[in-house]
Chain A
């Protein structure tokens, strides 16, 4: 609860900060300090120090998992600010408002991580989505950005409609919005409930960009300003996953046998479409968009099996995936365009960054001794426990092998190609930060308990 209110207040503060603060660096400083404060507030909250006492009528519930996830997303946003906040200046003049929107998104993330009522879920998703439509279209002069924003809005509104219909049917058959097993058990036989659940499944699949509801992702990720793509593809996506898993694990387990197979097929499709399409992409940004679809395939596995493995695995996955993807994007942002040629001979000009990027790519590809490998391992192990899905595991492992191909293409041009022209200029602190992130990836790949011990 602390973090929710703090982020909301901070959002409003950031909105008006440009009136008081004239320099961009001051605004940036305020955002970073504010975020740190949010983090502390959340940690205090989880250890029992509540700043506010508000009766939320059982519409939200903060458990250890929710607190932990909120901390992770605040931490990732913090890293995002450190890595790329400066790049936001290049997009447009409304520097402080971008921060405000990001804080509002965080607000939504906290809602979807802790809801127990479908109303809060709906509000959370919308609070995340609406600022994202704006951020996607924030590069007003850029045609691609406009177009991406439009597509995102149209498809997003469509999925919201589906979701609302699902909620309506759920309400019609159960008479309640609360996300509990008991509510569902009382009405298992109702076909309306099943339709409602399936509609919710579709709309949530849309939010996590799972095939065949992934169509928005490549275009939106490609068109949005790269800075915001990196935020969208990581932290926001992770939040959508948490909402998805929370919804289905809390409420819909009694009807598991009706939707489990569909989820398995969706996972297989997602892995297939994401990995295979990524192979041919020439633009790194678009390739990363497809790769993020492919990665959601793995993350969705947590939905197939609800056990300790999936709980720990999804958190590890989110951290590994978010850090790696943000790291790659933070370098991509600084480049002239996002074609693969830009990376030619990168290792020669920026050896430190090239090594860090290699670690990120290895982690995404799931090579051992990186967090990416372990998180994939956890997911597959979780599915293993739920039984009957050996075919999915084999397929997933195959697709992971395909992914090596396109991730290694970047490594290859970085190390094995000669560069022809100029390269990016980065500050020393950026190099240190990126190396630190690479080290985090490796440390988590060797000793995951470092992170997971907090989740007891």
Chain B
């Protein structure tokens, strides 16, 4: 069985990255935006693991980094949900465009 080449994986992660980024400025729903953020983080994770496995297999530091990212992403997600709930209580909406009290 042929091994999947590194470039394929990089293309996948880059695609994910840009999908996430695209989601960030097109989506209005806060939960969807949160998911876009997670997409970006996960694309990075894929990158790390792929680099580690293909290019530097003798050490595991890329994989360790991924563990840290996952931990922090979890913390961020928890926090984000808290913020969104709080905002929902005041605004009765989870549309980011409704939260434009401050501008200029």
Contact = CB atoms under 8 A, between A and B. Distances in A.
A–B touch (CB < 8 A): the answer is: yes
Contacts of B90: 141, 143, 146
10 contacts: A122-B72, A126-B75, A133-B83, A144-B102, A160-B41, A161-B17, A164-B44, A165-B43, A175-B56, A218-B102
A153 interface: yes
Interface in B27-62: 30, 33, 37, 40-41, 43-44, 47-48, 51, 55-56, 61-62
Q: Is the interface of A mostly helix, strand, loop or mixed?
A: helix
A176 B48 CA distance: 11
Contacts of A219: 102-103
Contacts of B30: 150
Contact of B24 (A144, A146, A148, A154): A154
B69 interface: yes
Contact of A146 (B79, B87, B103): B87
Contacts of B44: 161, 164-165, 167-168
Contact of B79 (A130, A141, A158, A165): A130
Given A140-B86, A171-B62, A177-B65, A134 B47 contact: no
Contact residue range for chain A?
35 or more
A168 B51 contact: yes
B68 A123 contact: yes
B14 to A, nearest CB: 9
A432 B69 CA distance: 46
Given A161-B41, A164-B69, A134 B102 contact: no
A144 B20 CA distance: 27
Interface string B61-94: 1101100110010011001100110110011000
B35 to A, nearest CB: 11
A168 B79 contact: no
A222 interface: yes
A222 B69 contact: no
A154 B37 contact: yes
Interface in A265-287: none
B96 interface: yes
Given A123-B72, A126-B75, A176-B61, 9 more contacts: A134-B79, A144-B102, A149-B83, A150-B30, A150-B96, A158-B24, A165-B43, A169-B47, A222-B102
B4 interface: no
